[in-house]
Amino acid sequence: MTRLLSIAAGVHPDLAPERMVEVAAAAGWPACGVWFDPASWTDATTRAVKQRFDDTGVVALDLEPIIPAPDHDDQGERVIEAAAAIGARHVLFTSRLPDLSATIDRFAALCDVASGCGVTLVCEFLPIFPLRSLAMARDVVNRHPIGRAGILIDNLHLSRSGGTIDDVQSIDVRRFPYLQIADAPLSVPTEFAALLDEAINGRLLPGEGSLPIAELLAAVPVALLSFEVRSRALRDGFTDPVDRARHLLTSAQKFSDF
């Protein structure tokens, strides 16, 4: 089976949401993700992004992120409403709340909103956040029906949090509607700053590193694939956003039939 391939919003952190859709379409991507900035997103943004998806036929894979934290309102309901309006299939949730029970409660409240909007809420874990492991993400979503709540595995975060393919296989595969894919060396940074820099600047194209990408895809054989290659080298080497997206697509297409 050929998987749907999507380009993640993080590949082009400087693009306006509607421009992200245009770039994905021009480069030949069948789907893309969009970044929601609460400071700049307006009703006009929603209309423009929806129009770009309608005009290009690109699939709206996800809108991100919702990140509740102790010191601010994450505006999760607003993100979900925008996702529904643009036709996005998923909304990405993670959490900076130090108490897992608070994360579970917030996810549950937003899951109700997402369900009413026809959107699947996916829980992503990051080793630099309190929500830092696959096991914790499983605990967050297990209270909700499959199809309504999912787990998003970014394979870089899986590696850096100490997760394994066996850990993935211990969870119902239907919990993983899509995966985020990049590559990296096997050696794991140990300091917070190094983990953060790798996540936003140091990712490699799939096949350039040593992460077990093929093994992960075999463990989750029906998931859609979002390529989250946030890379300073890619941004510097391909300053034109369409060229960058097209270069990444060439690498991503090798994995479409895994």
In this prediction, residues 150-157 reach a mean pLDDT of 98
User: CB burial class (10 A; 0-12, 13-18, 19+) of residue 191?
Assistant: exposed
Q: Does pLDDT of 73 surpass 80? A: no
In this prediction, residues 82-90 reach a mean pLDDT of 98
Structural domain boundaries enclosing 243: 5-255
Total structural domains in the chain? 1
Q: Among residues 137, 129, 133, which one has the least CA distance to residue 192?
A: 129
Residue range 175-185, pLDDT digits in tens: 999 999 999 99
CATH number at residue 152: 3.20.20.150
Task: Please give the pLDDT value at position 1.
Answer: 62
pLDDT level of residue 74 (50, 70, 90 thresholds): confident
Q: Does pLDDT of 4 surpass 80? A: yes
90 vs 150: CA distance, rounded Å? 9
> CB count, 10 Å around CB of 170?
11
51 vs 28: CA distance, rounded Å? 18
